Every structure is written in structure tokens, then in C-alpha cells.
């Protein structure tokens, strides 16, 4: 069994390429998309339809309902299930999506033994200052408003009575997906913008407004999933704050910003990994690898 990951920004064509490769290489697919994990969020997530998936087995799609949580630990478990299925059925595994943090965790691993759900029991600034005084080296890499990472560091300290630096030294990360070959889709900036505007137009035509009306009615606006790009802007439209033209423009604009962040993350986090760059939808390098 071989494993690869296809990375790239949103709207770069990862989904279509992964399906094409899967058909040619006897592979299953693990979605690396933090929005596609939700059932009933179909248009906003741009997940492949059941018809598009065809007979290709997918993991990481429609895993939980929009009002349920899905985190990196659940993703790792999803990866393990996908890998076990691939091995049992003599198939290859293609990991594809834009959530680089999940991929980074697969490659680097995660330290075990700490419940990262401990909540801050005082102001975030006070907690940050406390942790900084105890572990300057570790906390200097974290922004003062990064609540997730501050909570994580605080949880380590509260649960183990160790500073994060000491904890991670005593509990080194173990890679989960070893020898994972990465392939990255690269587009010129202006061409990617055109693709994003085209996909946004398709989302409008596919009924994102009706989808968000349904989601809000069933799940309210409280779940984290309801603050995703596409959904958040549509809620503004439903509130009468923007018109339909502005809705489409705002979704596209925010998606372009997301694409920029994804490209920056990939460049910074995966430069040490072996990456083959793909310009447009060429797939010969991937086929050769299999």
C-alpha cells in the first residue's frame, strides 16, 4: 500500500485530481477538509457529490453533524480507519484537502496523555503572562490572542505541573503517517482568483442560500461550523446587511484571503518534506509514484 497527500489552496482542483488519480491507482480517499466532515454542509464545503465520488470509497466526509465537534484527534482516528480499510482491501490511500494543520499533525505526530479541553480560569492575558514567566521560549512563539494554543499550553501546565517545553521534551511527538509523499498543486495568483470566482458563482447557482437557511433553522448559528466562509456571509445576506451581488463578491474575497493563508502555511510547514509541484492538473508525477 502507498500513501500520498495532495495539497494546495482552496479551489486549486485537488478534489478533481484526487478522483482522477484514485480511479487509475486503485485508491481510496481521505478528505483533509475541516468543513466537508459535516453532514448537510454540501454547497458551502464544495465537497464532491455522491455522484462525483462514484465507487471511490471516501473517509473524512459526512463524519459528524454541524452541531457536533470535530477536532484533530478525531481526524487522526479517521485516518487510522482509512488506512486499516486500505490495507485490508489491498488499496492505496490518497489524502487530499486544504486543512494543513491536520496534515502537519499526521506528519509530526501529537503528544499523548494530556486532556487539552481545560478551559482558562482567568483572563487570557493573565494566563499568557503567567505561562510566559514560566516558559519564555515556548510562549514567545505564541501570539497573545491565540486562545487555542494558550489553552493548550495552560492545559499542559495544569494537568502535568510541567511547562510546555519540559512536557514536549519528555513526551516527544511520534509521526503518525510515515514516509508520506506530498504533491502540491500550484497556480499563478491571478489564475487562482479566476478559479475562486468561478467556484463561488457555482456555489450561488447550486443553492448556498437555501442550504444556509436550512442549516440555520435546524442548528441555529451557535455551532462553530456556522462561522465558516460561505455560511457566515450568507447569514449577513439573510440579515439584510448585503445584497446578492455583494454576497458573491464577499465570499470570493474571503476565499482568496483563505487561499493566501493556506499557501503561506504550506510553504512554511512542509518545505522540509519531499514535495512534487504540479502546475495545473497534470498528474503524471503521481501516476509514476504509484
Residue 281 has pLDDT above 50, yes or no: no
Q: Which residues of 243-262 are buried (b: 16+ CB within 10 A; e: fewer)?
A: eeeebbebbbbbbbebbeeb
Q: Considering only the top CATH level, what class is 3-108+176-289?
A: alpha beta
Average pLDDT over residues 147-151: 84
pLDDT score, position 148: 79
Please tell me the least confidently modeled range out of 17-31, 164-178, 254-268.
164-178
Angle, helices 244-269/100-108, rounded to nearest 10 degrees: 20
pLDDT score, position 116: 57
pLDDT (tens digit per residue) in 86-128: 999 999 999 999 999 999 999 988 876 555 566 666 788 999 9
The model's confidence at residue 53, banded by pLDDT at 50, 70 and 90, is: very high
Residue 201 neighbours by CB under 8 Å, 6+ apart: 248
Angle, helices 208-219/189-206, rounded to nearest 10 degrees: 70
| Cβ-based burial of 220 (10 A; exposed 0-12, middle 13-18, buried ≥19) | exposed
Q: Which residue has the cell 499523548?
A: 112
The model's confidence at residue 270, banded by pLDDT at 50, 70 and 90, is: confident
Average pLDDT over residues 196-224: 98
Cα distance between residue 28 and residue 83, in whole Å: 9
Say what the pTM is.
Answer: 0.84
C-alpha cell at 284: 503524471
Write out the residue limits of the CATH 3.40.50.300 domain(s) in the chain: 3-108+176-289
Helix and strand numbers, DSSP H then E, in the chain: 13, 6
CA distances from 216 to 23, 30, 158, 231, 288 (A): 37, 28, 37, 9, 46
Q: What is the 3-state secondary structure (H, E, C) of 89-109?
A: CCCEEEEECCCHHHHHHHHHC
* Phi, psi dihedrals of residue 140, rounded to the nearest 5°: -65, -15
The model's confidence at residue 54, banded by pLDDT at 50, 70 and 90, is: very high
Residue 203 is classified by DSSP as: H
Average pLDDT over residues 226-253: 98
Q: How crowded is residue 169: how many other Cβ atoms within 10 Å of its Cβ?
A: 10
C-alpha cell at 279: 502546475
Q: How crowded is residue 10: how many other Cβ atoms within 10 Å of its Cβ?
A: 22
Average pLDDT over residues 165-190: 89
C-alpha cell at 90: 489491498
Closest by CA position to 134, among listed 163, 105, 111, 159:
163
Of residues 287 and 168, more confidence is placed in: 168
Residue 143 is classified by DSSP as: -
Q: Please, are residues 251 and 200 in contact by the beta-carbon 8 Å criterion?
A: yes
C-alpha cell at 166: 519540559
Q: Please, are residues 95 and 176 in contact by the beta-carbon 8 Å criterion?
A: no
Average pLDDT over residues 164-185: 89
Amino acid at each position: 500500500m502507498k500513501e500520498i497527500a495532495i495539497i494546495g489552496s482552496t479551489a486549486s482542483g485537488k478534489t478533481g485530481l484526487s478522483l482522477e488519480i484514485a480511479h487509475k491507482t486503485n485508491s481510496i480517499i481521505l478528505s483533509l477538509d475541516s468543513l466537508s466532515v459535516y453532514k448537510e454542509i454540501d454547497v458551502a464545503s464544495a465537497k464532491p457529490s455522491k455522484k462525483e465520488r462514484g465507487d471511490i470509497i471516501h473517509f473524512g466526509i459526512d463524519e459528524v453533524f454541524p452541531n457536533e465537534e470535530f477536532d484533530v484527534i478525531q481526524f487522526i482516528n479517521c485516518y487510522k480507519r482509512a488506512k486499516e480499510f486500505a490495507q485490508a482491501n489491498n488499496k492505496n490511500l490518497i489524502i487530499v484537502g486544504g486543512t494543513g494543520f491536520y496534515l502537519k499533525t499526521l506528519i509530526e505526530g501529537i503528544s499523548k496523555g494530556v486532556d487539552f479541553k481545560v478551559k482558562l480560569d482567568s483572563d487570557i492575558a493573565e494566563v499568557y503572562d503567567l505561562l510566559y514567566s514560566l516558559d519564555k521560549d515556548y510562549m514567545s512563539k505564541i501570539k497573545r490572542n491565540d486562545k487555542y494554543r494558550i489553552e493548550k499550553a495552560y492545559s499542559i501546565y495544569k494537568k502535568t505541573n510541567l511547562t510546555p517545553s519540559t512536557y514536549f521534551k519528555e513526551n516527544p511527538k511520534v509521526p503518525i503517517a510515515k514516509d508520506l509523499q506530498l504533491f502540491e498543486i500550484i497556480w499563478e495568483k491571478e489564475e487562482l482568483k479566476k478559479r475562486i470566482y468561478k467556484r463561488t458563482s457555482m456555489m450561488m447557482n447550486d443553492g448556498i442560500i437555501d442550504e444556509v437557511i436550512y442549516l440555520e433553522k435546524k442548528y441555529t448559528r451557535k455551532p462553530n461550523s456556522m462561522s465558516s466562509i460561505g455560511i457566515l456571509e450568507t447569514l449577513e445576506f439573510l440579515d439584510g446587511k448585503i445584497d446578492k451581488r455583494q454576497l458573491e463578491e464577499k465570499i470570493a474575497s474571503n476565499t482568496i484571503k483563505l487561499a493566501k493563508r493556506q499557501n503561506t502555511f504550506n510553504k512554511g510547514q512542509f518545505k522540509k518534506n519531499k514535495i512534487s509541484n504540479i502546475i495545473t492538473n497534470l498528474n503524471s508525477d503521481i501516476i509514476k509514484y504509484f
